[in-house]
Amino acid sequence: MTGHVLTRAMLEAGGIDALVARAAPGLRLLTEAERAESLRQTLAARPPGEPVWLFAYGSLIWNPTIHAVEQRTACIEGWHRAFCLSTPVGRGTMANPGLVLGLDQGGSCRGVAFRLADETVADELTLLWRREMLAGAYVPRWLDVKDADGIRFGAAIAFTIDRTAPRYAGDLAHDAVVERLATAAGELGSSADYLFRTRDGLRAHGIPDPDLERLAASVEAARALRA
């Protein structure tokens, strides 16, 4: 089912909206005007005098699709990486929804921070909003990003999960998470591939996530049983 790859060109052409409309016609997407307003509000809350960073904790690590001028490993506090968003398209189907990552409340999270050039902030974030703010399941926030020594080096936009969203799935039992990750697939590939690529991306940056590692091992075992 991997007929598409999420690329910058696909986002620029509006291809992700078209893909979702075909695969999940009942899923309400945000309009361009709604996305533009969300982005306007986010930029209005930008800490004055600071550069724009983007905090990547999932697929943005291994497939950022944006142009950045700097990247650093980073940690945020008060939020953790979790497979808490049900997806009936892309990494799953209406009949067998997959799961993708969001930042859920509590704990901390290590990931990668990308710094955007000031002159391209509007264009890059407009493209990013087409990708991350498809259906309004995330709440973009400015969060402090810290280095390995715990020293703050900036504020980054991070896409936190909206717990009131219809597709919030943060209350699933562990076995249900494993089952969905092991079996769901859609137009952009399988949920398992999304998990494994995130695991490998974190390893490549020297910031492996023990919880994600254990989850990946469980999904690999579940898939092996079905082979």
Tally: H helices and E strands in the chain:
8, 7
Cα 49 from Cα 219, distance rounded (Å): 44
DSSP bridge partners of 160: 103, 139
State residue 176's pLDDT score.
Answer: 98
Q: Is residue 24 part of a domain?
A: yes
What total of structural domains would you count in the chain?
1
Known catalytic residue at 119: no
174 in Cβ contact with 86 (< 8 Å): no
Residue 62 has which token pair? 């291994």
161 in Cβ contact with 138 (< 8 Å): yes
127 in Cβ contact with 66 (< 8 Å): yes
State residue 3's pLDDT score.
Answer: 57
Q: Is residue 1 part of a domain?
A: no
Q: Is residue 136 part of a domain?
A: yes
Q: Which residue ranges of the chain lie beneath pLDDT 70? A: 1-3
User: Which residue, 158, 178, 161, is CA-closest to 219?
Assistant: 178
Q: Is residue 173 part of a domain?
A: yes
Cβ burial of 123 (10 Å; 0-12, 13-18, 19+) is middle
User: What range defines the domain where residue 137 resides?
Assistant: 8-226
pLDDT tens for residues 151-167? 999 999 999 999 999 99
**What is the pairing mode between strands 152-161 and 189-190?**
unpaired
User: Angle between the 15-23 and 121-132 helix axes, to the nearest 10 degrees?
Assistant: 10
Residue 104 has which token pair? 């859920």
Q: Is residue 2 part of a domain?
A: no
CATH of the domain at 81: 3.10.490.10
Q: Catalytic pick from 70, 119, 132, 220? A: 132
DSSP bridge partners of 70: 115
Residue 12 has which token pair? 């620029």
Cα 179 from Cα 95, distance rounded (Å): 14
State residue 1's pLDDT score.
Answer: 43
DSSP 204-225: HTT---HHHHHHHHHHHHHHHH
Cα 138 from Cα 159, distance rounded (Å): 6
